[in-house]
Amino acid sequence: MTTLDIFSAVKDALGAIPLDAAGDPAGEKLFEAVELFPNKQLGRALSSLLITKKRACLVVPMGVRRIVRDQGGALSVTGRRFAEVALIYTDQAYFKFEQVVAFGSDRNLGLFAFDEKIEEALTGKEISPFGGIVLGDSDPLLLSDSEQKDAPGRQAWLIQAIVPTGLIAASVE
């Protein structure tokens, strides 16, 4: 399984999260669109395909990390490879948007509730053959004035996640 396959599995897992509390797999999904995106330029992403969707999530690779150990005096190295991924999710509301998007209303779930649903759905989920996804901190993603013009009524949050992508083993002779 390649790293790109693992990113696609993260995307698929996010796309399968149900919107309603009953968790009906055939019902409406939490996100109307989930896309892999190459960087954190949220304004550009929202002004293209995702601007047409109310609830959207971007899976943004942020880097690859390797943790290695010397097993026996520089003769054998073992370790793990992880991908750092930003899960950037957004909702849209046109009236009192800051309040409604963050905390929800009768028409909006709210970004704090999104965070809880993502955590519930992904924590411990075996995304790759190398282990499950580990969610880190969640933070608001501040949009610039020009990004706000391109994506009116929108706020975004970012969850940092780590996904195991492989094992490392090497012997030096």
**Residues β-bridged to residue 69:** 78
Per-residue pLDDT reduced to its tens digit, 15-27: 999 988 766 667 8
Per-residue pLDDT reduced to its tens digit, 113-151: 888 889 998 988 888 888 889 999 888 776 666 666 665
Rounded distance between C-alpha atoms, residue 27 and residue 20, angstroms: 8
Domain residue spans in the chain? Answer: 3-61+85-156
How far from chain centre, in Å, is Cα 31? 11
Identify the residue with better confidence: 132 or 48: 132
Per-residue pLDDT reduced to its tens digit, 53-81: 778 888 988 888 888 776 666 556 677 88
> Given this model, what pLDDT does residue 78 score?
73
The full DSSP string for 89-135 is: EEEE-SSSHHHHHHH--SS---HHHHHHHHHHHHTT-EEETTEE-EE
In this prediction the pTM is 0.79
